[in-house]
Amino acid sequence: MAALHLSAENFKQEVLEAKGKVLVDFFATWCGPCRMMSPIVDQLADELADVKVCKVDIDQAEALATEYGVEVVPTFIVFENGEAVKSVSGVMPKPVILDMLK
């Protein structure tokens, strides 16, 4: 299953009210590095049964990007029980993202 695309309207329900871990990929459609990371994010969504994997287009949800301090895309934020607990930005190998989720 591909990553769930979020908007400002469903972010609270899907991320902030979620139990367990949620990985959110803040991206932009015009961003080359984001396009490079997209297949990896979709793989993680397929492989991680215990982590919800989501994407937020910063151009469609600017307020969310601002609220979470997203200045560079891609930015990955791990939420645990609705709280942002880890954040990294840029292109990175899949093992680095997996390590964030431990």
Residue with the two structure tokens 């997203």 = 70
Catalytic residue among 34, 37, 45, 73: 34
Rounded to whole angstroms, the Cα distance separating 85 from 90 reads 17
Our answer to whether residue 54 is catalytic in this structure is no
Catalytic residue among 4, 18, 31, 40: 31
Q: How far is CA 76 from each of CA 42, 50, 84, rounded to the nearest angstrom?
A: 13, 17, 10
Our answer to whether residue 34 is catalytic in this structure is yes
Residues known to be catalytic: 31, 34
